[in-house]
Amino acid sequence: MTSLAASYPYYLTNKAVFANTDLKVSDKYSGEIATRVARADATAIDAGIAAAVEAATVVHQLAGCWLESESYIGQEQSCAGAWRQCDGYR
């Protein structure tokens, strides 16, 4: 059986953050505390939202590049709406 670490971080922009050990995780069979995990504060949540917004912009830019690639030539009519959506993100 795999044992648990004493505590676990939360992840923010693919980085482990060992901010605290505020949340207790209990074993569902024994009721004993099995481990603890970090809880994100308001600042960390805001940073996560900002990172998600930035990532969405990058994904839209990548979609625009793909739509312009040679592999997509000849299919523009079926994706006219996507062309319009990507125009605002270049």
pLDDT digits (tens, 9 = 90+) for 17-42: 999 999 999 999 999 999 999 999 99
Q: Tell me how crowded residue 21 is: count the other CB atoms within 10 A of its CB.
A: 15
Query: What pTM value is reported for the model?
Result: 0.58
Q: Are 8 and 35 in contact (CB under 8 A)?
A: yes
Spell out the domain ranges in the chain. 7-37, 43-87
- pLDDT tens digit string along 40-68? 999 999 999 999 888 887 777 776 655 55
* Pairwise CA distance, residues 23 & 33, whole Å: 10
Report yes or no: 65 and 90 within 8 Å, Cβ to Cβ: no
